[in-house]
Amino acid sequence: MEDETEGAVVLERRAAKGPFVFVCEHAVNAFPARWGDLGLTASQRHAHVAWDPGALGLARALSVQLESPLVRATTSRLIYDLNRPPQSASAMPARSELHDIPGNADLSAKERLDRTQALYLPFHAELRMLLAEKLALGQRPILVTVHSFTPVYYGRPRDVELGIIHDADPALACAVLEEARAQTRLDSRLNEPYSAADEVTHTLALQATPLGLMNVMLELRNDLLPDAAAQKAMASLLAPVLQAALARIQKPLEVV
């Protein structure tokens, strides 16, 4: 999916009135001419190291089914990982998983600033603006980031199929876990295969936590998302899970 799009961010279904805001920071493996291919082979540019395969299709399908906006990236996470702060070494990694990234080796401060200004700042400004608009309308949007992960990592198979990850507030993640286990046969686990300790909740911490907004990160094993049909089917499985989890949290306390 090496589609090159002008700008750092695409906002889909902006006017949608559903309760969620979906975010896909690793949506594509596009390498705009401005930064080139970072010295990577075609195989590397299509591998998980460059993006989250299947995540965008899943996020789009959830956005449609739950009538909610989607904010997505337009460039490979190897140029700038939008789920990392500018000071993080993994924002523009010189090595990722088993791959050296030649175009990220020995970046100057000016080069890091250039990518931060061109990609990170506009992306998060657009997301912040969308959340502010919803707050101004009296809504309390729920932030859901959508990712995928590899079935094998450093030679080790991963049994988990759905990872549900939280930042400071675990409430929604715990509710999603309970509903996923009740409604699906997915091997669903809390804070696997990653957790906040792995620096994967930056968007949640930056955008939702300061505003007191409920939030959760969804990680799907990418062999479950091989094509558009599978991605839509997974969205149909997860949409009622998210709705039920939200209802569970929002249910008023019963008066005894």
Which two tokens mark 225? 């998302």
- Residue 253 is predicted with a pLDDT of 44
Q: Where are the domains of the chain?
A: 9-250
- Distance in angstroms (rounded) separating the CA atoms of residues 13 and 31: 25
| Spatial CA neighbour of 74 closest among 12, 18, 163 | 12
Going by C-beta distance under 8 Å and a sequence separation of 6 or more, which residues neighbour residue 103? Answer: 35, 36, 37, 38, 39, 40, 78
| Spatial CA neighbour of 217 closest among 65, 64, 58 | 58
- Distance in angstroms (rounded) separating the CA atoms of residues 82 and 114: 14
DSSP assignment letter at 101: -
Which two tokens mark 5? 């799009």
- Residue 256 is predicted with a pLDDT of 41
| Distance, C-alpha 112 to centroid of its chain | 22
- Residue 49 is predicted with a pLDDT of 95
In this prediction the pTM is 0.95
- Residue 252 is predicted with a pLDDT of 55
- Distance in angstroms (rounded) separating the CA atoms of residues 85 and 52: 19
Q: Would you give per-residue pLDDT tens digits along the chain (256 residues)?
A: 554 456 999 999 999 999 999 999 999 999 999 999 999 999 999 999 999 999 999 999 999 999 999 999 999 999 999 999 999 999 999 998 888 999 999 999 999 999 999 999 999 999 999 999 999 999 999 999 999 999 998 889 999 999 999 999 999 999 999 999 999 999 999 999 999 999 999 999 999 999 999 999 999 999 999 999 999 999 999 999 999 999 999 875 444 4
Which two tokens mark 212? 């007191």
Q: 9-250: which CATH topology?
A: Aminopeptidase (3.40.630)
Report whether the peptide linkage leading into residue 85 is cis, meaning its omega lies within 30 degrees of zero. Answer: no
